[in-house]
Amino acid sequence: MLAQRAQKFGQYDESLTKRTGIFGFQTKKDIRRSNDILMDIVKTDNDVYRELKILFDYRVFQQTQIQDHSRETEQSTLGYMITINKLRKQIEVLKADAEEQRQQDEKIRNILIITVLALAAFIFLMFAFRKRKRTPVKRKTTARKSNRRA
């Protein structure tokens, strides 16, 4: 388009210097031809401006699209960061709960061990006490019985 415009402008410039009339003046036909060339130049300029406007609008559209994409990416990133922080807090809470549960389980295990040991000691003492009770003690009463009979 720009090459066409340059060519037409060259034709226009040439038509202005061309004088085909009597005594070297321009005729109406020369002036009309120059005006037609000038109108072609204006049409070419309008086409160039139209194409430039389309390119400019496309460029603005691209910039807007890039900005929108950048905002969306930033919002997604912020959302991911917020989610990651929430999950980290949940992990910390779960770790604390797990530690607390482990300590409670350890306390219960210790209590059970102590209870079993106490119960075993109690049973052992009961058996030991019963054995003492059952063990016949040699009484001297047999000698007394014989004394009583006599």
Angstrom distances, CA of residue 117 to CA of 56, 107, 112, 120: 90, 15, 8, 5
Residue 120 lies in a domain: no
Q: How many CA atoms lie within 13 A of 134 on its CB side?
A: 6
The DSSP code sequence of 57-76 is: HHHHHHHHHHHHHHHHHHHH
Give the pLDDT of residue 4.
74
Residue 135 lies in a domain: no
Residue 80 lies in a domain: yes
Query: Which pTM was predicted?
Result: 0.47
Residue 88 lies in a domain: yes
pLDDT tens figures, 118-128: 999 999 999 98
Please state the rounded mean pLDDT for residues 6-20.
Answer: 69
Residue 121 lies in a domain: no
Residue 77 lies in a domain: yes
Residue 79 lies in a domain: yes
Greater pLDDT, 9 or 54: 54
Q: Looking at the 3D structure of the chain, how many domains does it have?
A: 1
Dihedral of the CA atoms 112, 118, 120, 126 (nearest 10)?
-150
pLDDT tens figures, 18-74: 666 665 666 677 778 878 888 888 888 888 899 999 999 999 999 999 999 999 999
The DSSP code sequence of 2-34 is: HHHHHHHHHHHHHHHH---SGGGPPPHHHHHHH
Contact between residue 48 and residue 2 where contact means Cβ atoms under 8 Å apart: yes
Q: Which domain holds residue 42?
A: 2-96
Residue 130 lies in a domain: no
pLDDT tens figures, 68-101: 999 999 999 999 999 999 999 999 999 999 999 9
